[in-house]
Structure 1
C-alpha cells in the first residue's frame, strides 16, 4: 500500500466534510448549536487506541458496519454523561441509567451521526456506501467497542484511523467519531487518489519508530540534565491541516522553544510547556533554584532553552543517523506567549509551501508526574517524502541514537 500527501489531503477533506454533515444533523435533531472540532488522520498503534478508552470513564457508542464503496466499521463514541445530556434534550426528561427508551434514543442519535460522516465519504468519492443496522455498545475499556472488529489493529500494528470531534456550543456535550476502514479498501482508494509514486506504508511505520527512538533519547538526556526521572512517549502520528494546529494548543500561558531544522528532512520543532511545568523544570535544573521574587526570569529562560536544545538534538540526531543524512538545527528561539500565539509564527511560515503537516502527539512524564508538554515535530512534506523513500527500515533498530549538543548561550 502506497500513499502520498495528496491522497491523505483528500481523505482529510472528506472526513472534515462528513463531520460537518453530522454536526448539522445533530443540530436539526436536538436544536442545539454545534461546531466541528479538530479532525485528524491518526497513525496509531492498537495499544494507544485502547489506552484512549481506558481512562476510567464509562463510554457508550453506536457502531455500524460499512460495505460497498467503503468497507469497514464506523463508531460514534460518547462519554456516558454526554449521552445522557443528549437523551435529556431529546426526551425532555433526565436519566442516569440506560433503559430501553434512553438506549433507543442514544442509538438513534449515533446512527444519524454515523450516517452524516459516511454520506460525506460517499458524496466526495461518488460512490454508494451501505450502512448496517446500528448497534449500541457500552463499557469502560476498548474491548466492547473494538474487540470483534477485524479492522482494529493489534497492539503493535500501525493503523490509519480517522477521528473527528463535534461539540455542542454552550454545553458539555461532545463525542468522537472513529472510522476503521478495511486495508484493501484504503489501498484501492489511495491508488486512485495518488498524484505521484508516493511512499510505501511501512516506511511511515518506520518514521513512527524513528520518533519513538528519538523520544527515548530525549528522556535520557533530560533525566541526566535535570536529575528528575523523565519519560517521553510518542502516542501517535497525526496528519492534520496546518490551520487547525492552533486549535489544539491549550489556551493558557505557555513557555517553550522553537527550532528550524535543515537537511533531509527540513522543518520545525517546538517544545511547549505550561508555565507551571516550565517553572518546576527550570527550578530543578538550576543548582540554587530559581529566585521566587524574580519568577521565571532570565535564569529560567536559559534553563528551558538549554533543555530544549538537548531535546532537539535527541530527536534530530536519531533521525539523521537512521536516514544516513545530516540534519542541522538553528539556535533555540524562546517562546513565552498565550495559546495559539505561541505556534502562529511557525504555522505562517510553513503555510507558504504546504497545507498539511505530520505532527507527533507526545506525553512527557517526570518523577511520576505528567507534565503539560507538547512536542510538535513538523517536517516539510516534500522533504519527508524523499527521506522516507530512501529509508532502509532495517537500519532503525540497528542504528544507535546518540545525541550531541552544545551549551546554549544566554541571550
Structure 2
C-alpha cells in the first residue's frame, strides 16, 4: 500500500466535509448551534486506540458498517452525560437518567444522522457511493464493546490510519468524537486512485513513526543525564493535519514554545508547544531553585533558557536519531523562544510555511519529569518532497539496529 501527500490531503478534506455536513444536520435536528473542532488523520498503534476508550469515562456509541466506495466501520462516541442531554432535547423530557427503549431509539436516530452526515461528505469528495447499515447502540467504559467485531482494529503494535473529528454544541458541554476504521484493502484501492506520484510505502511511514519513538527515548535519556531528574517522553500518535487548522488547536490562554529550522534530508521545521502551566512545570523541574512562580506574567532569563535547553535536547534527539537511521546529516538552527496568546503563538510559523505546503505531520507527545506530567505538542513539518525521498530510501531494518545517540550543543547562557 502506497500513499502520498495528495492522497492524505484528499482524505483530510473528506473528513472536514463530512464533519461540516454532520454538524449542520445536528443543528437542524436538535435545534442547537454546533461548531466543528479540529479534524485529524491519526496514525495510531492499536494500544493507543484502546487507551483512548479506557479513560474511566462512561461512553455511548452509535456504530454503523459502511460498504461500496469505502468499506469499514464508523462510530460516533459520546460521553454518557452528553448522550443523555441530546436525548432530552429530542424527546422533550426534563431529565433522562438511563437508556430505556425510547431513549436508545432517540440516541440511535441522532447517531445515524451524524454518521450519515460524515459519510455523505466522504462520498461527495470521493465522487462515489457509500452504503450504510442500520445503527447499533453501544455503551461501556472500555474499548471492548466499541471495537468488538471490528476486524480493521489494529493489533497492539500495528500502525493504523484512523479518522477523528470533533463537534461541539455551542452553549452546552455536549461534544463527541467520530471515528472511521477503514478496511485496509478498500483504503489501499482509494490510495492507488488518489495518488499523484509514486508516493511512499505505508510501512515506511510506520518506520517514520518508530524513528520518532526511538528519538523520544533518546530525548528522555539525554534530559535525565543533563538535569539529574528522571525524565520520560512518550509519543502517543502521529497526526496529519492542515497547516491552517494548527492555530485552531490553541484557543485561549498563553502558550510557550521553541521553534527550529532544520536542514538536510529531510529539511523543514520543528515546533515544540506547551501550555503556559506545563512550561512552568518544565522550569520547576529543570531549575528547582529558579525564581519563576505561577503568578508571574513572563519568564525570566533562567526560565527561558530552561525551556530553550529542553527544546534543544528534544530537537537533537529527534533529528540526530532520524539522521542516523537515514544515514544522512540533519542540522538544526538555534532555538527561537515563543510566548504568546493562543493562535498568535503559532501564526507566524504557519504563515511562513503555508507559502510552500498545505499539511503537516504532528507528533502528540507527553513529557514526564520529576513526577510531573505535562503535554507538549511536537510539530514536525518536513518539506514534502524531502520527506518522500528520505522515506523511500529508508531501510526499515536499520531502525532497530542503528543507535540513535544524540549530540547537542549547550545553548549560550545556560
Output the TM-score relative to the length of structure 2: 0.96
Contact 2:45 2:160 in 1 (8 A): yes
1:310 paired with 2:313, answer yes
Q: Report the Cα distance in structure 2 between the residues aligned to 1:330 and 1:142, rounded to whole angstroms.
A: 43
Deviates more, 1:224-233 or 1:35-44: 224-233
1:349 paired with 2:336, answer no
Q: Secondary structure at the match of 2:256?
A: strand
Q: Report the Cα distance in structure 2 between the residues aligned to 1:218 and 1:182, rounded to whole angstroms.
A: 35
1:325 paired with 2:347, answer no
Partner of 1:6: 6
**Alpha-carbon RMSD:** 1.6
Contact 1:323 1:387 in 2 (8 A): yes
Segments of 4+ moved more than 4 angstroms:
291-295
Q: Report the Cα distance in structure 2 between the residues aligned to 1:282 and 1:193, rounded to whole angstroms.
A: 46
Partner of 1:226: 227
Displacement of 1:114 in angstroms is 0.7
Contact 1:313 1:404 in 2 (8 A): yes
Partner of 1:363: 366
Aligned length: 411
Q: Report the Cα distance in structure 2 between the residues aligned to 1:182 and 1:287, rounded to whole angstroms.
A: 50
Quickly say closer, same or farther: Cα 1:240–1:181, change in 2 above 3 A. same
Q: Report the Cα distance in structure 2 between the residues aligned to 1:115 and 1:285, rounded to whole angstroms.
A: 50
Displacement of 1:225 in angstroms is 2.3
Q: Secondary structure at the match of 1:171?
A: coil
Picking from 330, 337, 341, the partner of 1:338 is: 341
Quickly say closer, same or farther: Cα 1:287–1:152, change in 2 above 3 A. closer
Unaligned runs of 5+ in 2: none
Spell out the pairing of 1:9-408 with structure 2 (5 A cutoff): 9-93=9-93, 94-249=95-250, 251-286=252-287, 288-290=289-291, 296-408=299-411
User: Cα deviation per residue 1:127-159 (whole Å; 9 max; x = unaligned)?
Assistant: 221111110001001110012211111111101
Unaligned runs of 5+ in 1: none
Contact 1:283 1:290 in 2 (8 A): no
Displacement of 1:220 in angstroms is 1.1
Quickly say closer, same or farther: Cα 1:88–1:289, change in 2 above 3 A. same
Contact 1:230 1:364 in 2 (8 A): yes
Contact 2:281 2:372 in 1 (8 A): no
